[in-house]
Structure 1
Amino acid sequence: NERNLIVGHLLAPEYKPKVVREVLLERGWEEYDEDEREEEDWNLYWRGSAFRTSEYHNLLPWQRLNHHPKTIGITRKDCLARNLRRMKATSGSSLYDFSPTAFILPNDYTRFLAEHNKLRLVRGPSTYWICKPVDLSRGRGIFIFKDIKDLVYDCSVIVQRYISNPLLISGYKFDLRIYVCVKSFHPLTVYIHQEGLVRFATEKYNLSSLHNLYAHLTNTSINKFGPFYKTEKGRVGQGCKWTMSKFRHFLYSQDINELLLWQRINNIVTLTLLTIAPSVPSCPNCVELFGFDILIDVKFKPWLLEVNYSPALTLDCQADIAVKKGLISDLIDLMNYTAVDGLRDRAYQKHKYKQPCVNTNYASHISIPALSQVKNPKFQRKSRDGKAQQTLTLPLCILIKCRGKKVGDFIRTFPFNTATLKASQHKLDVTIILQQLHKGHKQHI
């Protein structure tokens, strides 16, 4: 635990999310002061934007960065669409069926036009599309349309089939913000946080009013300015967010098989990361937090909407506070700071560290304990027919064979068995991993 450090130093010159600063100060850290410290005398460099390539070189043992290099392949909308399309073509559509059909315009305009016209002939005017600028966030520039004559854009955009049959709560659309930590790409090591956010639209879902963004978009940055943000909205309540814990209670109240849902979401996370994992350079002193946005339709099929780079850490409401402070604290635990890192000044003077950092962020061998070894597993209440349920409510330990290692509320979801462990230890063997995922997929469809 880094509480045993002499002190930890946060370096975040142009981006200081309040919650990160608060959590680290509570844990005894200090902000890096370049006037008082040596140039390399910092522990954690936190940025909202990407690091330069040179900043990944010559990291010292006590230093961590909060981004892996070259993850734009999943965090930019057009790159994600290309990579998912490529994997679907090479690995089969049965696994990569979790992303809506997408076209990158203007390059794919002819293909989009053909698909648009074909669907109109088959289904009539009941197919909807959503258009998003490829490199904007927070819902900016997004609109929904039916007829191609309504498609107007002045920059590179992605056009996707709009999931027009979303699961609703009290008539309101919502999506899930799932927090995923990639501790390492070499070997691939993935943790998913048990807590997350459920983000609601603030007006009731209505396909006859496509221009009403408060009914169709779930971005907090949009809905917090909506006219009904502070009003009571049926079961949703005030505001536009729930914690994931509250959502799990909702699922239970509806007799929904939550374990199967989380299994599918876990597969989405793993399959998405596999699209870039072989091409991400090894940088052992990096830990990355992604925000996966998942929409659930009325058939309880989860759909990947996008993957967020530097997911928002602002504290807009009580749900944010409940989720994000614990999330960041657990993320720091995953960084594996030790007392040696805290003695950096002494070590620097004694040993004159000048070499790039060795792999200190993960063990060379990852053990996967039996499920019975996970501390304090909780079980669901008795079902309505009086029979005891033996379904684990460790919500994101979502493959029955996961037997994941737990760090705070993070549960390791990859590797999830011996075969995937072996396939990720040296050079990542995507084929074997896909085979293992396909076995699980067939068991749960």
Structure 2
Amino acid sequence: MAATLVFRLHDGGPELLRQVLLERGWEEHHGGRRGQEDWNLYWRGSDFPISEYRKLMPWQRLNHHPQSVGVTRKDQLERNLRRMKATFGSSLYDFSPTAFILPNDFTRFLAEYHKPRLQGRAPPFWICKPVGLSRGRGIFIFEKVRDLLYDCAVIVQKYISEPLLISGYKFDLRIYVCVKSFHPLIVYIHQEGLVRFATEKYTLSSLENPYVHLTNASINKLGPFYHAAKGGVGRGCKWTLSKFRHFLHSQNINELLLWQKISNIVTLTLLTIAPSGPACHNCVELLGFDILLDVTFKPWLLEVNQNPALSLDCSADLAVKKKILQDLIDLMSYTCTDHLRGGADGRRGPLLPRVSPHKLPQIQTRPKKSVQNKSSCHRYQRSLPPVHLGRTSRLVSACSANASQTDTSETLNPILGLRSLTIRSLSEVPHSQDEDELSEVPSTLPDTSWRGRGLWCPDAAWRLPDITHRFKAFQGHGPPPPLRVGDFIRTFPFNMATLKASHRQLDLKAVMREIRKLTRQLDAGQSAMKGPGVGDKQEDLDSLLWGPKDPPLLRHCFKT
């Protein structure tokens, strides 16, 4: 039987994901029948240990990038947004409410709390959220500082007390974002999403009522009015984003500008961690951005969810989440040979031959210089240390107890250094099912002249095969990321300038300049719209404007 793609779910995983993958012909990984690395997709609700990234094979994908917690944990998100606001100004980073991380910022919070009272202005309301909890747990709203009680690290934000309402009910938007890569930054936003409603009409007279102020479905589905018809909202507590677009059509606003502002929030938030995050090109992460609109249609970022819920509570969930998962799998860019998982005809095998800890590939080199006590050090046995992309492993020295054996051929292993024992060719390395694979090998190592006891790299002939070519980011010598995969719309990079700015080392200043320019163009209003083919300014990189039902090309949106 032909080999198929295999998925592995941690602790059972989301049932909807299992259903989608099985419908596509995948098989589920079972540890008893398959090896620990005999899989193509590993899905986990929490962060992966760093060891999982180090041993990834080219045919494997993980559903989290390393260090994405920098935007998904509330306190780290606030710190990163503060840093970017201090660097690039509040004109760009003005989409997050004023916030304080307690207890560290308690003094600063008190100063802000008393400021309106000293100036004779009406004091604001505040919302308190535990930094490590989700699904609305532990959240409460307060007006007086005496009501602020907490027993763990929390974040306190100014409460947006004038939200946009639909039929008197508060709501927010769940936007589904796929981060394809951080190096370079490649971001997609799905055309479909969820509108989540509170189930009781909005009022500031009952701050303690969660069904009035919180939009989390996990809370509102337990409310007394969840199944009741609620004016224009209807039954339940969710709409699809498509239904929300119909609501926007009845409002006198610049819809294109609104969608672009939300897209900017996504990009600017991810830029807070993009320069510092490690590169891992075989990871694809699905994030849930929660966006609140105020009465002026200004979008605000509430939080970023690392594991947006994939449970099915209503028909809107089924219509949205199943399609998102299908498109997400397509974004993982599996090839026609990944189902082999490194072997031919479905047989297990790595891209590089298996390397025994005491048997390394041999490369013939020039005869070595005479060494003192040569009679006792003719032959060495060494263990191969972990080799990581972009980093050279430490030189390991260990003499074998069996020093009486001799070998007339002088060999050099390029990783372990002088006089290490090797085998004559890569093809002679035996495969062993009981030993770890060499999962990551740099395509090149630095040429270093021999200075006594050290690493000697005489020629380029010993360089190991490049097994990472499939994951190298676009560097100007290949096609750019597709502008659309299913209903995922590429929102970054959105032109040639941002594509070039994201190569190798991210140029944040150039990216910020392009975001400002695009937003100013859309802010000119609907009158700037024109039909395709009229005075088009051709660019090498086309991009779509995310948000509208039929996304137009960006270069069709502005007058030239």
- Asked if these proteins are the same fold (TM beyond 0.5), I'd say yes
Answer whether contact 1:179 1:291 (CA < 8 A) is retained.
Answer: yes
Normalised by the size of structure 2, how large is the TM-score? 0.70
The residue that corresponds to 2:485 in the other structure is 407
* 1:119 aligned to which of 102, 111, 116: 116
> Residue 93 of structure 2 corresponds to which residue in structure 1?
96
Does the 8 Å CA contact 1:368/1:417 hold for their aligned counterparts?
A: no
Partner of residue 261, structure 1:
258
Q: Contact (CA 8 Å) 1:285, 1:360: kept in 2 or not? A: no
Aligned-partner SS, 1:159: strand
The alignment partner of 1:277 has SS state of coil
Distance in 2, matches of 1:30 and 1:152, equals: 49
**Residue 296 (structure 1) shift:** 0.3
1:358 aligns with 2:358: no
Distance verdict in 2 for CA 1:340–1:192, change over 3 Å: same
Match of 2:308 among 308, 311, 329: 311
Matched, 1:226 2:226: no
Q: Which amino acid aligns with 1:426?
A: R
What's 2:495 paired with?
A: 417
| Separation in 2, partners of 1:236, 1:18 | 28
Task: Name the count of aligned residue pairs.
Answer: 407
Q: State the TM-score, normalizing by the size of structure 1.
A: 0.88
Q: Distance in 2 between matches of 1:155 and 1:351?
A: 48
1:19 counterpart SS class: helix
Whole-angstrom CA distance in 2 between matches of 1:342 and 1:444:
45
434, 438, 441: which one pairs with 2:516?
A: 438
Work out whether residues 420 and 432 of structure 1, in 8 Å CA contact, stay in contact via their aligned partners in 2.
yes
1:300 maps to which residue?
Answer: 297
State the SS of the aligned residue for 2:502: helix
1:323 aligns with 320
Question: Aligned in 2, Cα 1:442/1:58: closer, same or farther, shift over 3 Å?
Answer: same
Is contact 1:248–1:258 with CA below 8 Å preserved after alignment? no
Q: 1:78 aligns with which of 65, 75, 78?
A: 75
Aligned 8 A contact 1:205 1:216 in 2: yes
How far is the alpha carbon of 1:363 from its aligned partner?
5.3
Alignment partners' CA distance in 2, 1:10 and 1:164: 45
AA aligned opposite 1:270: T
Residue identity over aligned pairs, in percent, reads: 67
Identify the structure with the greater helix proportion.
1
Structure 2 CA distance for partners of 1:56 and 1:359, relative to 1, 3 Å: farther
Q: Secondary structure at the match of 2:312?
A: coil
Does residue 241 of structure 1 match 2:242?
no
CA distance in 2: counterparts of 1:295 and 1:123, whole angstroms: 28
Aligned-pair distance for 1:37? 1.4
Distance 1:15 1:104, change over 3 A: farther
The one-letter amino acid of 2:58's match is P
Deviation at residue 430 of structure 1 after TM alignment: 1.0
Equivalent residue, structure 2, for 1:381: none
Equivalent residue number for residue 42 of structure 1: 39
The SS at the match of 1:425 is coil
- Counterpart CA distance in 1 for 2:350 and 2:196 is 51
Letter paired with 2:315:
Q
CA RMSD of aligned residues (A): 1.7
Q: Structure 1 residue aligned with 2:337, among 336, 340, 345?
A: 340
Unmatched tracts of structure 1, length 5 or more: 370-403
Partner SS for 1:21: helix
3-state SS of the aligned residue for 2:305?
Answer: strand
Return closer, same or farther for 1:237/1:144 CA change in 2, 3 Å cut-off.
same
Structure 1 residue identity aligned to 2:7: L
CA contact (8 A) 1:186 1:424 kept: yes
Aligned to 2:389: none
Deviations 1:150-203 (A, max 9, x none): 111111110001001100000000000000000000110000000000000000
- The alpha-carbon deviation at position 126 of structure 1 amounts to 4.2
CA deviations 1:297-320 (Å, max 9, x no partner) are 010000000000111111111000
Secondary structure of 1:221 counterpart: helix
Q: Distance in 1 between matches of 2:211 and 2:350?
A: 60
1:194 aligns with 2:168: no
Secondary structure of 1:178's partner?
Answer: strand
Amino acid at match of 1:23: V
> 1:365-385, CA deviations, whole angstroms, 9 ceiling, x for partnerless residues?
47569xxxxxxxxxxxxxxxx
What residue is the counterpart of 1:169 in the other structure?
166
Report the counterpart of residue 30 of structure 2 in structure 1: 33
Aligned to 1:273: 270
Residues 1:212 and 2:209 aligned together? yes
Larger radius of gyration: 2
Unaligned 5+ runs, structure 2: 354-437, 441-466, 524-560
Instruction: Give the counterpart letter for 1:84 in structure 2.
Output: L
Give 1:432's aligned amino acid. A
Residue deviations 1:262-286 (CA, integer Å, cap 9, x gap):
0000000000000000111011110
Of 3, 8, 15, the residue aligned with 1:6 is 3
Tell me, in whole angstroms, the C-alpha distance in 2 between the residues paired with 1:11 and 1:326: 20
Decide whether aligned partners of structure 1 residues 15 and 350 sit closer, same or farther in structure 2, where only a CA change above 3 A counts: closer
| Residue of structure 1 in register with 2:135 after alignment | 138
Greater displacement, 343-352 / 11-20: 343-352
- Shift of the alpha carbon at 1:351? 4.9
CA contact (8 A) 2:282 2:471 kept: yes
What letter matches 1:360 in structure 2?
R
Q: 2: CA distance between counterparts of 1:274 and 1:251? A: 29
Return 79-88 or 350-359, whichever deviates more: 350-359
Q: Is the 8 A contact 1:284 1:358 kept in 2?
A: no
Code of the residue aligned with 2:223 in structure 1: it is G
Give the one of 43, 59, 62 matched to 1:62. Answer: 59
Kindly indicate whether the alpha-carbon contact (under 8 Å) linking 1:284 and 1:359 is maintained by their aligned counterparts in 2.
Answer: no
Distance 1:238 1:367 in 2: 46
- Distance change >3 Å, CA 154–CA 425, structure 1 → 2: same
Aligned partner of 1:18 in structure 2 is 15
